[in-house]
Structure 1
Amino acid sequence: MKRRYSLRLYLAGAVAARAGDEMSGPALMLTGFVLAGSTTDASSLLAGITISAAVGGPVLGALLDRAGRPGRLLAVALVLYAAGLGMILLGLGRLPFAVIILIAVLTGLLGPALSGGWTAQLPRVVLGDQLPRANTLDAMTFSVASLAGPALAGGVAQALGAPTAMVVSAVLIALALPAAWMLPARPGRARGARTTSVISDLAAGMRVIAGRQALARATLTSVLSCTAQGILTACIPLLGERVLGGAGRGAVLLSCTAISALVANAVLARFPRSTAPDTMIWASALVQAAALALATWRQPVVLIVAVLIAGIGEGPQLAALFAIRHREAPEHLRGQIFTTGASLKITGFALGAVVAGPVVTWSLPGALALAASTAVLAALAFFALPSVTVNSSEDRAMSS
């Protein structure tokens, strides 16, 4: 009898892939600076591999939805992403920088495979009654990755050099290949040939995201929350320098956020049905807003407490977002909805960081206040969308 795919294997693969992804950003920045000799070039590399995810996510998701064995396609995406990191490393200092940027952009197209593309497969791994707890555990892998990835990048770069950190990040992603390759196939009745084009599937997925009130609300609130998080991230070096006594100490703040998010989700995993995910989405945004407002005091102890509170908001919000996507997404569009959502969040984070740059230079408290205001806007946006839903007959039409 064929053994059932293990949730532990799924989580192990997710942690490896996502830790490698989280490690690749700092490693890419450090390697770009060491080999290209310019902070501008290093930032351009990171921007190229990040921003292109907004384009790649929906298309990758649509292809995953059309695949009879989506795990195989996911494994290919992981191989190509790891190979792209290797090509960037080998090309720096040898190829024209414009070519390196192009490689980074093409590699970034596959980035959503490590986040939304993976999570979209969870309902085929666990049974319905087990999904809420598994969903929270899946969200915890992001916190583990965001905690371990940057720390590994800094430690390996310090001990063995920045290029080695790039190699280790690619190896971590490659370690997830067996878990991805063995992901369950679609049920036999769902594996028939699709009669619609990829463009039609993309349009259908966008209609579902925009047309289902719960999904639209959760998507908008999460994207605005990510924008606030991007603004906070841009403030981290100055907060470290002015409040903690050194710009490098700002990284401790991100670690505190990741730890509290992990702990909050660990508690939530014990009581997975304690709070409705729709309530958790907007309430978590308000928790983050309160934390960001508290950070404007710029006192060391208060600042540490503030980022810990921010993590308490971020972790459960991610788990709630996954729960809503699993609940609302039609089976034939699940992958696209997850990867599109991941792309939108990445874009929101990048936009927040870009907008915050000049604001931080002008006023650090002003930037933190902007982040808090954006988080409040995220909560208000949840209630601002009209009640419009996609009905079941339209779902059936899109799946035919």
Structure 2
Amino acid sequence: MSGFGRYLAAALAARFASEGMAMAVVLLALERTGSAAYGAFVLTAWLAPHVLAAPLAGAAAARARRPRLFHVGALAGFAAAVAALAVLLGRAPVPLVLAVAVLGGSCGPMITGGLSSLVTGLVPAGAGRDRAYGWDASTYNAAGVTAPAAVSLATALWSGGPAMAVLAVSAALAAALAATLPYGDPPAGRAAGAPRAGLGAGLAALWRVRELRAVTAATTLAFVGIGSLTTTAVLLAAALGSPDAGGVLMTAFAVGALGGSLTLGRMTSVEPGRLVRWALAGTGVALAAAAFTPSVGVTAALFAVAGVCDGPLLTSTLRIRAEHAPDGVRTQVFTLGAGLKVTAASTGAALVGFAADAPAWTLLTGIAGLQFAAALLHVLAAPRGPVPPPMVLPRERSGGSATAPAGRRTP
């Protein structure tokens, strides 16, 4: 298997474990304590560290003298936390369970953006790398389709503990596969501390580089809506007379997203910023139409269309980050972008909880509106005219942290 093939296997195994955690935690808490609220608290502790740990994880990865050890260690830590929760949740004191969840969640940014940042070192620049990001995006969607189903099946056949153990094994497999990847030599001067990117360097890059700022702002806004889509789907299905069909709607969305990432997401001839806007607008149109359909079948079909439109969004986002992130902070840019989206999704989930008494069609219309607003935001924030080359971090004579303005072409 090629280096990129092993990478895809590692990414799929890691993201399978990550995508299954939400359902596994809630089901296990309900089984052992009878309280879904307890599971929600543990899940919050699992997700909360993502945005806070993202700059730390990115900076540590960029400075690591042994990147293989760092990445494998993060994946192994993730696996260990999942395994520990399978044993402790509902049995150990709550503070201990929450502490384990926080530690495991702190490894989360390396499962998402941290892994994606490795693609630039595995595939040469050009159309081949653009296609590689399409495959990378498909691992998120494939995990989103298969992980909840696998957790539900394992829980039905055995119980919540073995279901979570399946996720731990998957994460451990990802760590083993990551150990076989070709990480290459550390950048020149890393051992001596140059280039040394401070913890704020990734955030500075997201703000100073217009392409990064535009796609980060747009996708973060869009994910406030996407984060509330699961709850809204359940409410919408209930309003249509099929309260158990919420999972069907979300499965249709996930399957559509997988198809979109494998087809539209591989359109390397289309400029990624334009694809971002098309994806957001298309998702908004499909969800807006789904708000006014008379049956679950038609609604599921439109959810699938929305997923197809959403599929290229992640691929395009990864391409933009790879093309425009400065060398010294590339991993920070990837982890920060992923962390902000997770936080936005969590915010959306909380907001829809407060508005759960509103008619479901109004909630779905609001989600569609956020997609349109995100597309407009990208139009306003993205640069016009020729795209400048990405900025790079200068090497410093005596450490510290700094970023350079755009103008120097990355080697």
Q: 1:325 and 1:175 mapped to 2: Cα distance?
A: 27
Q: Which residue of 2 aligns with 1:143?
A: 141
Q: Which residue, 93, 99, 102 being the options, matches 1:96?
A: 93
Q: 2:342 and 2:271 mapped to 1: Cα distance?
A: 25
Q: Which residue, 268, 271, 276 being the options, matches 1:273?
A: 268
Deviates more, 1:354-363 or 1:314-323: 354-363
Q: Does 1:312 align with 2:312?
A: no
Deviation at 1:289, TM superposition (A): 1.0
Decide whether the 8 Å contact of 1:212 with 1:390 is kept in 2.
Answer: no
Q: Which residue of 2 aligns with 1:162?
A: 160
Q: Does 1:260 align with 2:253?
A: no
Q: Which residue, 20, 36, 42 being the options, matches 2:39?
A: 42
Q: 1:202 and 1:112 mapped to 2: Cα distance?
A: 15
Q: 1:58 and 1:336 mapped to 2: Cα distance?
A: 6
Correspondences of 1:300-379 after superposition (within 5 Å): 300-379=296-375
After superposition, the Cα gap between the structure-2 partners of 1:191 and 1:234, relative to the gap in structure 1 and judged at 3 Å, is: farther
After superposition, the Cα gap between the structure-2 partners of 1:330 and 1:162, relative to the gap in structure 1 and judged at 3 Å, is: same
Deviation at 1:306, TM superposition (A): 1.9
Q: Does 1:230 align with 2:257?
A: no
Q: 2:222 and 2:355 mapped to 1: Cα distance?
A: 18
Deviation at 1:385, TM superposition (A): 2.9
AA matched with 1:168: V
Q: 1:273 and 1:387 mapped to 2: Cα distance?
A: 20
Q: Which residue of 1 aligns with 2:409?
A: none
Q: 1:230 and 1:189 mapped to 2: Cα distance?
A: 37
After superposition, the Cα gap between the structure-2 partners of 1:188 and 1:95, relative to the gap in structure 1 and judged at 3 Å, is: closer
Q: 1:43 and 1:357 mapped to 2: Cα distance?
A: 12
Q: CA RMSD in A?
A: 2.3
Correspondences of 1:378-397 after superposition (within 5 Å): 378-385=374-381, 395-396=393-394
Please list every run of 5 or more consecutive structure 1 residues that lacks an aligned counterpart in the other structure. Answer: none
Q: Which residue of 2 aligns with 1:216?
A: 213
Q: 1:342 and 1:264 mapped to 2: Cα distance?
A: 20
Q: Does 1:295 align with 2:263?
A: no
Deviation at 1:274, TM superposition (A): 2.5
Decide whether the 8 Å contact of 2:214 with 2:382 is kept in 1.
Answer: no
The Cα offsets for residues 149-207 of structure 1, whole Å up to 9 and x where unpaired, read as 10101010111111111100110111112221122234455363253798x52211111
Secondary structure of 1:396's counterpart equals coil
Secondary structure of 1:361's counterpart equals coil
Q: Which residue, 22, 25, 30 being the options, matches 1:28?
A: 25
**Aligned pair count?**
394
Q: Structure 2 length normalisation: TM-score?
A: 0.90
Deviation at 1:66, TM superposition (A): 1.1
Q: Structure 1 length normalisation: TM-score?
A: 0.92
Secondary structure of 2:182's counterpart equals coil
AA matched with 2:154: V
Secondary structure of 2:228's counterpart equals helix
After superposition, the Cα gap between the structure-2 partners of 1:202 and 1:291, relative to the gap in structure 1 and judged at 3 Å, is: same
Please list every run of 5 or more consecutive structure 2 residues that lacks an aligned counterpart in the other structure. Answer: 396-401, 405-411
Deviation at 1:111, TM superposition (A): 0.8
Q: Which residue, 106, 109, 112 being the options, matches 1:112?
A: 109
Secondary structure of 1:395's counterpart equals coil
Q: Which residue of 2 aligns with 1:52?
A: 49
Q: 1:382 and 1:195 mapped to 2: Cα distance?
A: 36
Deviation at 1:384, TM superposition (A): 2.9
Deviates more, 1:389-398 or 1:13-22: 389-398
AA matched with 1:251: G
Decide whether the 8 Å contact of 1:280 with 1:316 is kept in 2.
Answer: yes
After superposition, the Cα gap between the structure-2 partners of 1:5 and 1:201, relative to the gap in structure 1 and judged at 3 Å, is: farther
Q: Which residue of 1 aligns with 2:242?
A: 245
Deviates more, 1:252-261 or 1:92-101: 92-101
